[in-house]
Amino acid sequence: MEDRTQIADFHRHINGLWGDGGGRLGLVGRNLLALPALGALPPEVARLWLGPRHVLGVRGLAAAGRARGVDAVGAWGVGRPFSEAARAAAGRLGVPYVALEDGFVRSLRPGVAGETGVSLVADPVGIYYDATRPSHLERLIADAASGEAGLLDRARRLVALLRARRVSKYNHAPDAAPEGLGDGVAVVVDQRAGDVSVRRSAASADAFAAMLALAVEEHGRPHVVVKTHPDAVLGGRGSYLTEAARAAGVRVVAESVNPWAVLDRARAVYTVSSLLGFEALMAGVPVTCFGLPFYAGWGLTRDRLACPRRAGRVPLEQVVAAAYLRYTRYVDRGAGTPTEVETVVCQLAEARDAALAAVPLPVAATPGAGARG
């Protein structure tokens, strides 16, 4: 579907799929049907599995969707074989492709540990980490409605709640700074090797080396630390920068640690596209971006790349309102029913604190965890 058509039909599709009128969402990826976070969608939205992609192919998926009268076709993310097959099937049917992803407050343990999330993004325009095309989040950030006083006040309170309860995307780690980590460090954020959010943020592996070099130049090697990605900490995935940083004599924070405990000691953060960069903004720490995450290009960060679509300057609370309050949907951890982000933040904080008080949370990687195809 061409972008101008997508724009013209956008509100109609959204109202039909997620509003009072309900809708029929055809899913590619059978285990999506068992995903608890789908409970965040309104009950009027019917979730239908279209069949095995590797058997049906694009034509078969489109035929199944046509037979079931779907209003949209959805799959996990973008840039993966099953998501691109779903997108192609949606194109054949002339309906939107809806990219599904975890939200920004997800769970206790990372997905690689096998724990499902309590938040969900359903984007019929693009997806928040893909800067190569527009996304619904990008449009929500620019939308004047995200800057309404009531919503900004709620966003401001949410930032205070996230900081006070020390809640992040993953919440398994102890809330204590690594031993010997002094105040005023420059934090360089490593990411999972091959992460689609790096490729889709207009960056490459070379950006990580350039990022580390700039941090050392601006702050001095003794004052720079590299924060390893949680998936790499668990041993399930590699990363871009950790080994190179060690070889260069830069300290690596590889232990599991609550991100807020690191941000407490930070005077600057350097990132390609990590959510930790946005959490740094909420913590009042200056951020330099070497890619184009959803929060770059709005006047909040020092950017090494430009995105012409993001021409305006918006306050931090407007981005928080768009991302956490309007773009993402949440389910209650116990009931599995739709709820608000503030409820999920408190539930995760209470569950984390209780678990850590009893015994450190086990976070061993589960083979194949996180695949939705």
pLDDT in tens, 188-201: 999 988 888 888 88
116-127: average pLDDT? 92
- pLDDT (tens digit, 9 = 90+) per residue, 210-240? 999 999 999 999 999 999 887 666 655 688 8
Q: What is the mean pLDDT of residues 314-334?
A: 96
Give the span between the Cα atoms of 136 and 327, in whole angstroms: 8
**DSSP character string of 139-179:** HHHHSGGGG-HHHHHHHHHHHHHHHHHT--SB--S-SSPPT
Per-domain residue ranges of the chain = 145-358
Residue 184 pLDDT greater than 50, yes or no: yes
Q: Which pLDDT does position 60 carry in this prediction?
A: 95
Q: Answer whether 337's CB lies under 8 Å from 39's CB.
A: yes
Of 115 and 74, the structure prediction assigns the larger pLDDT to: 74
Between CA 101 and CA 372 the distance in angstroms is 10
Select from 78, 26, 28 the least CA-distant residue to 57: 28
pLDDT value at residue 164: 98
Q: Residues 38-58: pLDDT tens digits?
A: 888 877 788 889 988 888 999
Report CA Rg, the chain: 20
What is the token pair recorded at 225? Answer: 């630390």
Which percentage of the chain shows pLDDT scores above 70?
88
**Mean pLDDT (whole number) for 112-133:** 89
Q: Is the pLDDT of residue 10 over 70?
A: no
CA 143 to chain CA centroid, Å, is 20
* One-letter amino acid for residue 266 of the chain: A
Number of helices followed by number of strands (H, E) in the chain: 13, 13
Judged against a pLDDT cut of 80, whether residue 112 lies above it is answered with no
Model confidence at 14, pLDDT cuts 50, 70, 90, reads very low
Alpha-carbon distance of 52 to 358, in angstroms, equals 43
99 burial (CB, 10 Å; 0-12 / 13-18 / 19+) is buried
